[in-house]
Amino acid sequence: MSYPVWAIVGIVLIITELVTPSFFLVFFGVGALVTAVTTFTGLTPGLSLQLIVFCGSSLVLMVVFRHKIRLRFSKETLPPDYIGQRVKVVRTIQRGEEGKVFYRGAEWIAFCDSPDEEISEDSLVEVTGSDGVRLKVRKIGEHHTTSG
């Protein structure tokens, strides 16, 4: 492949990571950009070498930086007072699955701290913690009200 193709793939993967923070695609995006540079400079003229550089650089970056970036991002994502907030479920949280809640003007991926419980849409839940950018929630009684 030519270096512009690798560059486009890299940029698309990085942009996709910004839309869906998985802490995974960014490493392949940077790996594609590294491959674009090595292809442009003539270090990887053939597809086989390009694929080796792409896979190798992506995996090395992921092993070295994924945990550090995930920790940093998750610390900056949630304000210190998020625990205890009552929020509304906007997509049902199935047993052992993820759903979505509405928190501070945006939809957040959420999961129940009790994996055997299903929480239906429009229910109120309390935020009990987080796992990266996912909110950990539990169902609250019907007598509670929400302010957000």
> What is the per-residue DSSP string for 129-140?
EEETTEEEEEE-
Do 17 and 71 belong together in one domain?
yes
pLDDT score for 58: 94
What's the pLDDT score for residue 80? 64
| Of 135, 129, 68, residue with least CA distance to 101 | 135
Give the integer Cα–Cα distance in Å for 139 and 86: 10
pLDDT tens series, the chain, 148 aa: 899 999 999 999 999 887 776 678 889 999 999 999 999 999 999 999 999 999 999 999 988 887 776 666 554 455 667 888 899 999 999 888 899 999 888 888 899 878 788 899 999 999 998 877 788 899 886 444 444 4
Alpha helices in the chain (DSSP H): 3-19, 25-40, 47-77
Helix or strand or coil: residue 123? coil
Per-residue model confidence (pLDDT) at position 35: 97
Q: Structural domain of residue 115, as residue ranges?
A: 86-139
State whether 92 and 119 are in the same domain.
yes
Report CA dihedral (66, 71, 72, 77) to the nearest 10 degrees: 120
Single-letter amino acid, residue 57: S
Do 72 and 10 fall within a single domain?
A: yes
Per the structure, the count of domains in the chain is 2
The per-residue pLDDT for 76 is: 46
Both 65 and 8 in a single domain? yes
**Residue 118, both tokens:** 């299903």
pLDDT at 86: 92
Same domain, 72 and 8: yes
Sequence-ordered list of residues with C-beta below 8 angstroms from that of 82, at least 6 positions apart, any chain: 103, 127, 130, 135
